[in-house]
Chains A and B, each alone.
Chain A
């Protein structure tokens, strides 16, 4: 449906207004969702996440900085990093100017008037539109630069209407889109080589919600790999700059709690201990991760002490994201040994555009690495909440957005996101968002042209592993949904359905995690060649620029041969079919035989991570 609609509107000359329309339509949808109930509506004395966010506005606007993290921690004390606090502060100021009773200290607790509800809903939508939507728009433009305008618009549409985030942010009520939006902005910056800006945005994302830490291993190893790749001199300089930017941003974020502004040096510990509460249990409620799922068989909390479990979780998480980190490191190392001199030469030649170059060979790995690391955190780490699935979901749907419907990435993406939404079902049902859950899931599947029923009915074809897995998962999901209204769980197992939900979701997430590792390795092969160290005898891939080709292409075409070769070699992987054409075209410009660089198109974003070598006559 989405594809057809985009085609229709492009033909009807609505191309230029399409983005505005989609954004506006989404605002409508979000408002519509906002009419529904939210977390903790009408449930005194503690209410829910909605009241938590509102309460933070109340305390930030009424209290000085040093009391933010200490004021009555029993009643929704602030336990997110400072950027959340600042955002709440801004909202609080606005709310105060419209209607002071919405954020009056203490007396506004549990306020549920229509006006305040509209304001709260509006604030989420406003921040979403200011941060997340532009980030997605830039993403669709920057990461799919070689693809057609239609594909870019379609990717944007798919990303905008993703039900999981809509349900959590605009139904349940949270500000996840700000964190995710900042993270996507960081990715956009990495894509065009502005690593420093990327690091800045990543720190902001961390500063909004500590959950962004799930991405840290991938981002960190990516940036380190880039430093390695640039060589000791350039790389060292970049490393120092990155470090400075990161520290500076953190300092600015925490400045009210750092000595000149606070009374003591220990003040900084207050927000830190609030943000990382290790004192809580292994998991809360029922969440579709390893610990909760295996808890049915092994009663972890009886078997081991809290401290041991924390360590075990940390070790497992580490093992979980190690593959992607290792792969990034390996790729960087191999590329470094393959083209040591040329890379440096290239860096000299390309001094005018120093950083949008040579980071890019490992860039295609980044989304998979993000998926891998965040999924491993979700599956194995400590104190995971079911809404946290949004984090692994983000890189997955970013990958998904540009995929063609018959590709493997598309299948995994659709499966992953549907199961992710399903994994939040017990939460949504509890909050009275069941209708919205079904409606949005239906809409999105229809929009992307994906039919779970069709997949179920063709499972016997055994087309691929993901096909069979999807069929199985959907059967289980539909079966559970049908069963739930009919069967009342026995008194002994009141949590029967949440547990079954976990048992369905966890295997799928584990498979996704394994798949992300597989993809990391495949992409790394595509980047360095199948056996890596084979050096000169191997067909090295040729990378085409990820940066806007309008700027890049003419210069590289007209460049002298020596420079053209270098540029070709270090330019990175494209994201689509247009690339193949360009590779062929540019290959006619390079002199056959004078170089070992052979054209090969690597199109990871279409899901077929194959190296398509075309041998020129050498």
Chain B
């Protein structure tokens, strides 16, 4: 209760904060679902922010639009674009806070019947007050808290052995936001192996049918109205726009960010030495456009969607094979994290907000062992830091940094003592020091990013063309941490049986 009041107070204070275009996107969806018949939802293009979430989210907006219309009819006026009076701000921001209670409830349930309730309490509180949610949901504006609430309910059901329920909830979640497909392979394998097959490998036909039917019903409820009116084609084209580039506007800190950065450095190198290496002219143009738009490499071979797809699938299959042979709860959560992680690192057009898909399930593992905890720390710091550029207005940037530091200290201090392990050999000590230096580097980076505008203004005009430098450095530095975190986690996961036994291993 205390946490709830604290977090609500914080979020209420953020009401007047900066709002991204996502705020208008969601307002527009309220208007679409309220004023148009269901057959028009996925066709409407009055605003450029067309509806591109799956049907459950559209239904959800429909429900939200009913009180909205009662409060202020202008909120749901389709042609009232960029409406931002105090009433719509308060209403939309409140709906985020209220729907986030789903997350709160799931986290509370996690504490009950946890292996180690005091530790789980810290983790639950950390998730509920996660700076990622604060930045993306309460300032930038989205409904991630609500949807991660559903995801955590589903994971909780898996922990409590109600696997059918877990599968249903995940299917529901998929119909709210299709980005959770990143996690679907882990779910599929886990439920197939542990629910539809008996430990000895016999097919549990009853379970299988129950699960299959349940999932079909969920999808049926979601899609039927659109299938019946023949809109599936249109719906899919809205949901999966494959026309976008490899990197998002500003590079999400994944493997492609590193590759892109390497390409830019190579190009500089080629230009300065004048070596005869074929240079793609479109790529040269692409660099000068800064970070906006499609990415075309100048020196390195270009990456196509099929490449990203292949790498992701290959990595995921390693993880899934392991999961197949060890379908325990802990293994499942780790595999879930890793699936999200590999999609994030190697996926096509990944948005930096997707980092929550890694951080949230990873948090559940934070208190397992020191190795997990350290992975959690690195991924969290890098991931949260990579979200900072989402907010570029001065006041909000300070707010997010200060909040993240406080939050991090509140998690790090109690947990680090709990999981501390003495390093086993010299190599561990060296690794530990390097990681600490890396983490310390974020402070330097933050100072650099904060001072850069002032410094470049002092220098005058010669800094033009460099205005993307802070973003680029941020992205590259974070992606080092993200990739390293992935390597750590996959190593831990594959060595699980021999080396890493934590408290969650007791859950079957």
Instruction: For the complex, give the distance between the alpha carbons of A252 and B6 in Å.
Output: 45
Determine whether the beta carbon of A21 is less than 8 Å from that of B406: yes
Name the one of A12, A28, A37, A121 contacting B413, with C-beta atoms under 8 angstroms: A12
Instruction: For the complex, give the distance between the alpha carbons of A9 and B417 in Å.
Output: 12
Determine whether the beta carbon of B2 is less than 8 Å from that of A31: no
Instruction: For the complex, give the distance between the alpha carbons of A1 and B417 in Å.
Output: 23
Tell me the minimal C-beta distance from B250 to chain A in angstroms. 20
Determine whether the beta carbon of A442 is less than 8 Å from that of B5: yes
Tell me the minimal C-beta distance from B471 to chain A in angstroms. 19
Determine whether the beta carbon of B16 is less than 8 Å from that of A35: yes
Taking CB atoms and an 8 Å cut-off, the chain A residues in 22-59 that contact chain B are 24-25, 27-29, 31-37
Contact with A along B3-29 (1 / 0, CB 8 A): 001101110111111000000000000
Instruction: For the complex, give the distance between the alpha carbons of A98 and B396 in Å.
Output: 19
Tell me the minimal C-beta distance from B388 to chain A in angstroms. 15
Determine whether the beta carbon of B409 is less than 8 Å from that of A27: no
**Interfacial chain A residues near B405, Cβ < 8 Å:** 24
Determine whether the beta carbon of B406 is less than 8 Å from that of A32: no
Determine whether the beta carbon of A435 is less than 8 Å from that of B2: no
Tell me how many residue pairs across A and B have CB atoms closer than 8 Å: 85
Determine whether the beta carbon of B403 is less than 8 Å from that of A34: no
**Interfacial chain A residues near B394, Cβ < 8 Å:** 114-115, 118
Taking CB atoms and an 8 Å cut-off, the chain B residues in 369-414 that contact chain A are 393-396, 398-399, 402-403, 405-406, 409-410, 413-414
**Interfacial chain B residues near A114, Cβ < 8 Å:** 393-395
Tell me the minimal C-beta distance from B457 to chain A in angstroms. 9
User: A330 on the interface (CB 8 Å rule)?
Assistant: no
**Interfacial chain A residues near B454, Cβ < 8 Å:** 98
Determine whether the beta carbon of A28 is less than 8 Å from that of B399: yes
Determine whether the beta carbon of B2 is less than 8 Å from that of A446: yes
Known contacts A13-B413, A114-B394: A36-B406 contact under CB 8 Å: no
**Interfacial chain B residues near A5, Cβ < 8 Å:** 2
Determine whether the beta carbon of B16 is less than 8 Å from that of A31: no
Instruction: For the complex, give the distance between the alpha carbons of A13 and B418 in Å.
Output: 10
Known contacts A24-B405, A37-B16, A439-B13: A32-B414 contact under CB 8 Å: no
Determine whether the beta carbon of B414 is less than 8 Å from that of A31: no
Determine whether the beta carbon of B395 is less than 8 Å from that of A118: yes
User: A440 on the interface (CB 8 Å rule)?
Assistant: yes
Q: Which residue of A lies closest to B404 (CB)?
A: A28
**Interfacial chain A residues near B393, Cβ < 8 Å:** 114
Determine whether the beta carbon of B414 is less than 8 Å from that of A14: yes
User: A404 on the interface (CB 8 Å rule)?
Assistant: no
The dominant DSSP class at the B interface is helix
Name, among B15, B395, B403, B413, the residue most crowded by chain A CB atoms within 10 Å (CB to CB). Answer: B395
Name the one of A4, A9, A28, A440 contacting B406, with C-beta atoms under 8 angstroms: A28
**Interfacial chain A residues near B17, Cβ < 8 Å:** 35
Name the one of B5, B15, B410 contacting A446, with C-beta atoms under 8 angstroms: B5
Instruction: For the complex, give the distance between the alpha carbons of A446 and B3 in Å.
Output: 10
User: A149 on the interface (CB 8 Å rule)?
Assistant: no
Determine whether the beta carbon of A440 is less than 8 Å from that of B9: yes
Contact with B along A398-436 (1 / 0, CB 8 A): 000000000000000000000000000000000000011
**Interfacial chain B residues near A21, Cβ < 8 Å:** 406, 409-410
**Interfacial chain A residues near B5, Cβ < 8 Å:** 1, 442-443, 446
Determine whether the beta carbon of A31 is less than 8 Å from that of B395: yes
Q: Which residue of B lies closest to A34 (CB)?
A: B395
Contact with A along B426-445 (1 / 0, CB 8 A): 00000000000000000000
Q: Which residue of A lies closest to B397 (CB)?
A: A118
Tell me the minimal C-beta distance from A154 to chain B in angstroms. 14
User: A353 on the interface (CB 8 Å rule)?
Assistant: no
Determine whether the beta carbon of B402 is less than 8 Å from that of A31: yes
Instruction: For the complex, give the distance between the alpha carbons of A349 and B17 in Å.
Output: 63
Name the one of B2, B6, B13, B409 contacting A35, with C-beta atoms under 8 angstroms: B13
Determine whether the beta carbon of A29 is less than 8 Å from that of B13: yes
**Interfacial chain A residues near B395, Cβ < 8 Å:** 31, 34-35, 114, 117-118, 121
**Interfacial chain B residues near A28, Cβ < 8 Å:** 10, 399, 402-403, 406
The dominant DSSP class at the A interface is helix
Determine whether the beta carbon of A33 is less than 8 Å from that of B409: no
Instruction: For the complex, give the distance between the alpha carbons of A25 and B9 in Å.
Output: 13
Instruction: For the complex, give the distance between the alpha carbons of A33 and B17 in Å.
Output: 10
**Interfacial chain A residues near B9, Cβ < 8 Å:** 439-440, 442-443
Contact with B along A114-125 (1 / 0, CB 8 A): 110110011000
Known contacts A4-B2, A118-B394, A443-B9: A25-B406 contact under CB 8 Å: yes
Name, among A4, A27, A31, A438, the residue most crowded by chain B CB atoms within 10 Å (CB to CB). Answer: A31
Name the one of B398, B402, B409, B417 contacting A13, with C-beta atoms under 8 angstroms: B417
**Interfacial chain A residues near B396, Cβ < 8 Å:** 35
Determine whether the beta carbon of B2 is less than 8 Å from that of A1: yes
Name, among B16, B393, B403, the residue most crowded by chain A CB atoms within 10 Å (CB to CB). Answer: B16
Determine whether the beta carbon of B414 is less than 8 Å from that of A12: yes
**Interfacial chain B residues near A118, Cβ < 8 Å:** 394-395, 398
**Interfacial chain B residues near A98, Cβ < 8 Å:** 454
**Interfacial chain B residues near A442, Cβ < 8 Å:** 5, 9
Instruction: For the complex, give the distance between the alpha carbons of A435 and B89 in Å.
Output: 13
User: A17 on the interface (CB 8 Å rule)?
Assistant: yes
Instruction: For the complex, give the distance between the alpha carbons of A438 and B8 in Å.
Output: 11
**Interfacial chain B residues near A435, Cβ < 8 Å:** 12-13, 15, 90
Tell me the minimal C-beta distance from B18 to chain A in angstroms. 8
Q: Which residue of B lies closest to A116 (CB)?
A: B394
Instruction: For the complex, give the distance between the alpha carbons of A11 and B484 in Å.
Output: 33
**Interfacial chain A residues near B13, Cβ < 8 Å:** 29, 32-33, 35-36, 435-436, 439
**Interfacial chain A residues near B15, Cβ < 8 Å:** 36, 435
Tell me the minimal C-beta distance from A519 to chain B in angstroms. 32
Instruction: For the complex, give the distance between the alpha carbons of A37 and B402 in Å.
Output: 20
Instruction: For the complex, give the distance between the alpha carbons of A36 and B89 in Å.
Output: 13
Determine whether the beta carbon of A31 is less than 8 Å from that of B410: no
Taking CB atoms and an 8 Å cut-off, the chain A residues in 356-395 that contact chain B are none
Determine whether the beta carbon of A439 is less than 8 Å from that of B399: no
Contact with B along A485-499 (1 / 0, CB 8 A): 000000000000000
**Interfacial chain A residues near B90, Cβ < 8 Å:** 435
**Interfacial chain A residues near B413, Cβ < 8 Å:** 12-14, 17
Q: Which residue of B lies closest to A117 (CB)?
A: B395
Instruction: For the complex, give the distance between the alpha carbons of A443 and B13 in Å.
Output: 12
**Interfacial chain B residues near A439, Cβ < 8 Å:** 8-9, 12-13
**Interfacial chain B residues near A438, Cβ < 8 Å:** 12
Instruction: For the complex, give the distance between the alpha carbons of A442 and B16 in Å.
Output: 19
Tell me the minimal C-beta distance from B390 to chain A in angstroms. 16
* 27 contacts across the A-B interface (CB closer than 8 A): A9-B414, A13-B414, A14-B413, A14-B414, A20-B409, A21-B406, A24-B402, A24-B409, A28-B399, A28-B403, A31-B399, A32-B10, A32-B13, A32-B399, A35-B16, A36-B13, A36-B15, A98-B454, A114-B393, A115-B394, A118-B398, A122-B398, A435-B13, A438-B12, A439-B12, A442-B5, A443-B6
5 A-B pairs besides A31-B395, A32-B10, A439-B12 with CB distance below 8 A are A21-B409, A31-B398, A35-B17, A35-B395, A37-B16
Which residues of A does B touch, CB under 8 Å?
1, 4-5, 9, 12-14, 17, 20-21, 24-25, 27-29, 31-37, 98, 114-115, 117-118, 121-122, 435-436, 438-440, 442-443, 446
Which residues of B does A touch, CB under 8 Å?
2, 5-6, 8-10, 12-17, 90, 393-396, 398-399, 402-403, 405-406, 409-410, 413-414, 417, 454
